[in-house]
Chains A and B, each alone.
Chain A
Amino acid sequence: MSLDTVARAEREPDAVQPFADLGLKADEYERIRGILGRRPTSSELAMYSVMWSEHCSYKSSKVHLRQFGEKSPDSQALMVGIGENAGVVDIGDGWAVTFKIESHNHPSYVEPYQGAATGVGGIVRDIMSMGARPIAVMDALRFGPLDAPDTRRVLPGVVAGIGGYGNCLGLPNIGGEVAFDPSYLGNPLVNALCIGAMRHEDIHLASATGVGNLVVLYGARTGGDGIGGVSVLASQAFTEGGPAKRPSVQVGDPFMEKLLIEATLDVLRAGLVEGIQDLGGAGISCATSELASNGEGGMHVWLDRVLLRDPSLVPEEILMSESQERMCAIVRPANLSAFLDHCAKWDVEAVVIGEVNDSGRLTVDWHGERIVDVPPRSVAHDGPVYRRPFDRPAWQDGLQADDPTALARPSSPEELRATLLDLVGSANLASKSWVTDQYDRYVQGNTVLAQPEDAGMVRVDERTGRGVAVSTDCNGRFAKLDPYAGAQLALAESYRNVCVTGAKPLAVTNCLNFGSPQDPAVMWQFAEAVRGLADGCLALGIPVTGGNVSFYNQTGDTAILPTPVVGVLGVIEDVRRRVRSDWGTGPARIYLLGATHDEFGGSQWAHHVHGHLGGLPPRLDLAVEQRLGKILVEAAAAGMLLAAHDLSDGGLAQGLVEMAISSGTGARCQIPPGLDPFVFLFSESASRAIVVPEPNFEASFLDLCQAAGLPTTRVGEVSPHGATLEFEGLFAVGLAELARVHHAALPAVLDDPA
């Protein structure tokens, strides 16, 4: 079949096109015909189909996501808001940071190693496309039950992929999450986060400005990987028998990515770049249409100039290819040779594929024939928008009525001790060092905190010690019980994790993982979670700067737990003031900040011990959360805190155990009179933290809490050189036993060759 050109589309207006096979609906196809005033060429059809896909266009989520902008709090710190590749926040002293989290869920299930690896690669390029130097990565991972056979396939592959790719880039992996739930068995969640730093003046936007400027494609050559639905077009063109099967999972080359990072940082530093865009989903289609749409409005591309790994690729495939490790830069003609020199230094291939103009059209030629002539905005930004029906599911009332108070609770000292050990060694609460020890957390020499601390922290400025802390969190069980509250609880926990390290929260990113948007119950969960998160961010005064939506995470009709993973970024003026969870060797007093209620809905105890999910999640008062955070940050800056630790999954008991293990020092604790030991130890009430004040500052710290109306409870004392965690009058556990149980859970399953 010969080339489908614009001329031919005009000549043969009635040619039948496989729009449905490309995922476009009949009305969407008609809309494209309306925009163009003719049928699209096969190349145009390919471009629209991928750019109007759920993944690229956010067509089902857009109407809800608008709230992040509409409810955005006034923030002095926000420099570039939602809408760009990643938002940018001012952290002071002329420094800016950008951060974003993105899902790579489906590829990671199909091919765990490459799926996870390319997830890291993609988010790193996203950060570079803002002009930032990537400074750290994190991952929020969720799998099926630890002992399920498929988890043993998926988890080690994902971890090896993140490590294999990430370790090769020279970016420290400073934390994240690993959680297990049966709902993720057929839909693991792999959410990758990257943080970048830059000087204010170095912020670059993805826009093609300056008529006559050149469009340079650089990095890896373009191959046939990740083409997906477009093979439908290719197969119609080339084969009689059946569609050409192109692998739809991309294969990563971390060495090329490392060279791409270095070359990109060089050209940015040298001031040779007017606009820059990474190539991820939808490849050249996405990059050129977005750059043109954000800039002067016009661009011409000579598609035959693209360097190919496979010379048999047809234009439609080149436009759609999702080959990894590629970037696109807008460069002034006068700077081109210097740009190419920097690329050559790093053995990175680069070629001019186009030019910026003011035609208002994105035009693409293939060996002198016009194959694309479209308004770029119609491709990149004016895709369809759906108001999908959403409905609170009928089962929600029953779920919330199924209160955990009916569950049998441990009461004797022996039962409480056994419960504590059982939880400490449960998959969700056990040490994740089997995972995190496969990641390089030291490279770059600026890692101040990494797993298992509450948040990761890196130094941005070696001279002043200014740094940032980042945490991600979500308890999907809370979100299932109440998606609005669950999203806010995820936000609150992430916020608190940043505060306990001494950093002041500034901005929010999110990765919203849900089932099918065509299921009104799922769409309701999504709508509620977004509303909750937007309201929560407004209340806490920190804006959402970007994020990602992943739908269709379900097996058959069963969706995953709604999982709005929330990342919070904070700034700390001097990382030497950071607070760790290690309480030293004592003596010092241990305090619980915040109030504890009888709250077990969605708790780790109900989940692990009873396999129960029902009732309501813990109540959350964001004003209290904000007061707690403010005190933690102020006290850290004043040097008042020896140690601090967020309380969440597993409650106070888990928090004390983690602090005792990390410091290698025991403690003697008391249950306050009149309180039920089980509730005190295992409730997951929100807005709480364990704090160990520096003995000299204990009184002034308590005054600070009292002035803020924040409840404090004396929990116990760090035992100088003690080796047991003791709850007076109840039970004691040796640190050695705690550490053994805590560390054994993952290796026991994952190192077992069976």
Chain B
Amino acid sequence: MRIGIVTFPGSLDDRDAARAVAIAGAEPVMLWHGESDLRGVHAVVLPGGFSYGDYLRCGAISRFAPIMTPIVEQAGDGLPVLGICNGFQILCESHLLPGALTRNASRHFICRDQHLRIEDTTSDWTCAYAPGQQITIPLKNGEGCYVADDRTLDELEGTGRVIARYLQVNPNGSRLDIAGIRNERGNVVGLMPHPEHAVESLTGPGVDGLGFFASVLQSLLSRARP
């Protein structure tokens, strides 16, 4: 399986995402923001970072990168796409996911090991987890407060599209403690914390993050063998 990782100017966790993909057993393929060819990858990760310095709204410039055209197009056809942190922000700006991510309630950048509960295991990126499973992965963001209008929140909640929620501490003031959501089809997932930093016990708080990458492989394999 080939999983593409997009590098935008200012992407930071692209190499980490590639490492996580490799540890999960897939082949990472680095994709450049200025190109418009997905090189036949089976899934795409939009990594964390500060694309274009986040000087404008986070993700607002990256959504116009040439690479986003085929990503948005193929996401509509079911291509699994995971947006982590800045990637989540880009997915919201691209309208692949509803809502927006705003400045943390504390107004500080926060880096911590965050407890989460996996709320939905039907998506391409969470199907390897057990429903309700509690995991710990790093969180690091300055603008991770998830907001949406009440109708959208009701709909996300009502249709089981909140895929992960903060436990114990809501680090950024997100509505409904939302850490991650998915689209209706379940192939596009946005997640504020960083599963790619929890794939080796030596360099992270554990290996709880591997499940996201294992999930997409499992999901792609089950598609290949219907």
Q: Which residues of A contact B (CB under 8 A)?
A: 160, 163-164, 167-170, 253-256, 258-259, 346-347, 436-448, 459, 462, 575-576
Q: Which residues of A contact B138 (CB under 8 A)?
A: 442
Given contacts A438-B109, A445-B19, contact A170 B49 (CB under 8 A): yes
- In the complex, the answer to whether A443 meets B10 with C-beta atoms within 8 Å is no
Residues on B facing A (Cβ under 8 Å): 9-10, 12-13, 15-16, 19, 49-50, 52-55, 108-112, 138, 140, 142, 194, 196-197, 199-200, 202-204
Are the C-beta atoms of A167 and B9 separated by less than 8 Å? no
A440 with B203: in contact, given A168-B50, A255-B55, A259-B9 (CB under 8 Å)?
Answer: no
Give the CA-CA distance A346 to B10 in the complex, in Å.
Answer: 10
Taking a contact as CB atoms under 8 Å apart, the answer to whether B111 and A170 are in contact is no
Inter-chain contacts of A443 with B (CB < 8 A) = 12-13, 16, 140, 197
Roughly how many angstroms separate A163 CA and B50 CA in the complex, as a whole number? 13
Are B50 and A167 in touch, CB under 8 angstroms?
Answer: yes
- Known contacts A163-B108, A447-B203, A575-B202, then 10 further A-B pairs from the complex at CB < 8 Å, ordered by chain A residue: A256-B53, A437-B110, A438-B111, A440-B111, A442-B194, A442-B204, A443-B16, A445-B197, A448-B202, A459-B202
Most-contacted residue by chain B among A170, A256, A438 (CB, 10 A): A170
26 pairs, A vs B, C-beta closer than 8 Å: A160-B108, A168-B53, A169-B12, A254-B50, A255-B10, A258-B12, A258-B53, A347-B9, A437-B111, A438-B109, A438-B111, A439-B109, A439-B111, A440-B12, A442-B16, A442-B111, A442-B140, A443-B197, A444-B16, A445-B197, A445-B199, A447-B203, A448-B202, A459-B202, A459-B203, A575-B202
A346 neighbours in B (Cβ, 8 Å): 9
B202–A163 touching, CB < 8 Å = no
Rounded to whole Å, the gap between the CB of A267 and the closest CB of chain B is 16
Bound CA–CA A347/B52 (angstroms): 11
Q: What is the chain A residue whose CB lies nearest that of B52?
A: A255
Q: In the docked arrangement, what's the CA distance between A164 and B111, Å?
A: 13
Give Cα A654 to B140, complex, Å. Answer: 29
Query: Which 3 residue pairs spanning A and B have beta carbons closest together?
Result: A255-B53, A170-B12, A442-B197
- B108: chain A residues within 8 A (beta carbon): 160, 163, 438
Task: Tell me the complex Cα distance, A215–B203, Å.
Answer: 41
- Tell me, in angstroms, the Cα distance from A712 to B112 when the chains sit together: 36
B38 to chain A minimum Cβ distance, whole angstroms, is: 20
- A445 CA to B12 CA, complexed, in Å: 11
Q: Which of B10, B15, B50 contacts A445 (CB 8 A)?
A: B15
Question: How far in angstroms is the closest Cβ of chain A from B172?
Answer: 13
Cβ-defined contact, B15 with A163, below 8 A: no
Alpha-carbon separation in the docked complex, A346 to B34 (Å)? 10
Write the nearest CB–CB distance from A642 to chain B, whole angstroms: 16
Q: Please give, as numbers and ranges, the residues of chain B lying within 8 Å of A437 by CB-CB distance.
A: 110-112
- The CA-CA distance from A253 to B13 in the complex, in Å, is 19
Residues on B with C-beta less than 8 A from A170 are 12-13, 49
Residue with the highest number of chain A CB atoms closer than 10 Å, among B13, B108, B112, B200: B108
When distances are taken between beta carbons in the complex, the residues of chain B under 8 Å from A255 are 9-10, 50, 52-53, 55
Cβ contacts under 8 Å, B142 to chain A: 167
Contact across chains for A446 and B50 when beta carbons are under 8 A apart: no
> In the complex, what residue of chain B is closest to A433 when comparing beta carbons?
B112
Instruction: Note all chain A residues with C-beta closer than 8 A to B19.
Output: 445, 462
Contacts of A256 in B (CB 8 A): 53
**How far does the alpha carbon of A347 sit from the alpha carbon of B65 in the complex, in Å?**
14
Distance from B87 Cβ to chain A, minimum over Cβ atoms (Å) = 14
**A576 and B202: CB pair below 8 A?**
yes
Residues of B within 8 A of A347 (CB): 9
Closest CB in chain B relative to A261 CB, distance in Å: 11
A290 to B90, CA, bound (A): 44
Given the complex of chains A and B, what is the CA–CA distance between A444 and B111 in angstroms?
14
Q: How far is the CA of A438 from the CA of B171 in the complex (A)?
A: 12
The answer to whether A253 touches B194, judged by C-beta atoms less than 8 angstroms apart, is no
A445 and B53 contact, CB distance less than 8 A? no
| CB–CB A448/B109 < 8 A | no
Across-interface contacts of B203 in A (CB, < 8 A): 442, 445-448, 459
Query: A447: which B residues are within 8 A, CB to CB?
Result: 203
Distance of A22 from chain B, by nearest CB (Å): 35
The residues of A that contact B50 with a CB separation of less than 8 Å are: 167-168, 254-255, 258
Q: CA of A347 to CA of B54 in the docked complex: distance in angstroms?
A: 16
Contacts of A459 in B (CB 8 A): 202-203
**Is there an interface contact between A445 and B111, defined as CB atoms closer than 8 Å?**
no
Among A168, A347, A575, max chain B CB count under 10 A is at A168
- Residue among B19, B49, B52, B140 with the highest chain A CB neighbour number at 10 A: B140
A707-B196 Cα distance, complex, nearest whole Å: 46
Which of B15, B109, B200 touches A167 (beta carbons < 8 Å)?
B109
In the complex, residue of chain B having the shortest beta-carbon distance to the beta carbon of A164 = B109
- In the bound complex, what is the Cα–Cα distance between A572 and B4 (angstroms)? 34
